[in-house]
Chain A
Amino acid sequence: MSEDRIADAQAKFAALRERFLVRTAADLKAIEAALANPATLDAASMRSLVHRLSGAAGTFGFPKLSEAAGAADDALMGLGGEVDPALDSLHRELRATLRRR
């Protein structure tokens, strides 16, 4: 791999990472809404959100966020853990990630 090619790829990854963080701010609002009013929780769209976060966050260099999203994904899928604490934990990690930005 040439150095130019690697530098070009890294610049592109950085731009994608920034876009991911912008979207993450919207995800935070969705999770806050779900926590504020659990009765309106749309389980399918929340599963989709946390599953996406779980895969993408790690790839963009946020392993703790990926882990918290993975735990929420498991809880929503009924594979282990309680949904509310898992979403609380994901919410905290999202806020921390955005604060560190």
Chain B
Amino acid sequence: MNRMLSILYVDDEPDIREVASIAFGLDGGISIRTAASGREALDALAEPGYRPDVIMLDVMMPQLDGPGTLAEIRKRPEVAKTPVIFITARAQAQETAGYLKLGAIGVITKPFDPMMLPVEVRAMVVRAGA
């Protein structure tokens, strides 16, 4: 049986957040919380007791983008080691390598197949031993 996973999904695009919520709902073992910006994600992570197992960050967001949000997360000892997956519409090999170098455990390319999203994320978590 799959382990329970709590995911914080961060994307400024409301349609994509809804798609992700529905997609992760297909996996009875995943709970998802969404945030519409990097700042909103950081506020959620500052809440006492909220410690997601995985954080998914859209790369391109206004104001605080995905890599910028990751940098802020790494400054916070209580969540610094939380595995991060980037979501991006630009997945050239060089860019993907750059995101992995920043410490992400994986990169998901938009557009993604919603039915496969939970499977892909679980596979990344397993591969990373997270």
Do the two chains bind? yes
A interface, CB within 8 angstroms of B: 1, 5-6, 9, 12-13, 16, 19-20, 48, 51-52, 54-60, 63, 66, 70, 73
- Is B5 in the interface zone, CB < 8 Å from A? no
Residues of B within 8 A of A63 (CB): 111
Q: Tell whether, in the assembled complex, residue A55 and residue B111 are in contact, meaning their CB atoms are under 8 Å apart.
A: yes
Chain B interface extent, by class:
10 to 19
Q: Tell whether, in the assembled complex, residue A55 and residue B16 are in contact, meaning their CB atoms are under 8 Å apart.
A: yes
The listed residue (A9, A20, A57, A60) touching B23 by CB distance below 8 A is A9
Q: Tell whether, in the assembled complex, residue A9 and residue B16 are in contact, meaning their CB atoms are under 8 Å apart.
A: no
* A51-B87 Cα distance, complex, nearest whole Å: 13
The listed residue (B27, B60, B111) touching A59 by CB distance below 8 A is B111
Q: Tell whether, in the assembled complex, residue B26 and residue A59 are in contact, meaning their CB atoms are under 8 Å apart.
A: no
Separation in Å of the A22 CB from the closest CB of chain B?
11
Q: Type the 1/0 row for B57-98, where 1 means its CB is closer than 8 Å to any CB of A.
A: 000101000000000000000000000000001000000000
Q: Tell whether, in the assembled complex, residue B26 and residue A55 are in contact, meaning their CB atoms are under 8 Å apart.
A: no
Q: What 10 pairs between A and B have smallest CB-CB spacing? A: A58-B111, A55-B110, A59-B111, A55-B89, A12-B22, A54-B89, A9-B22, A56-B15, A1-B26, A9-B26
Separation in Å of the B73 CB from the closest CB of chain A?
22
Separation in Å of the B48 CB from the closest CB of chain A?
32
Residues of B within 8 A of A60 (CB): 15, 111
* A63-B115 Cα distance, complex, nearest whole Å: 16
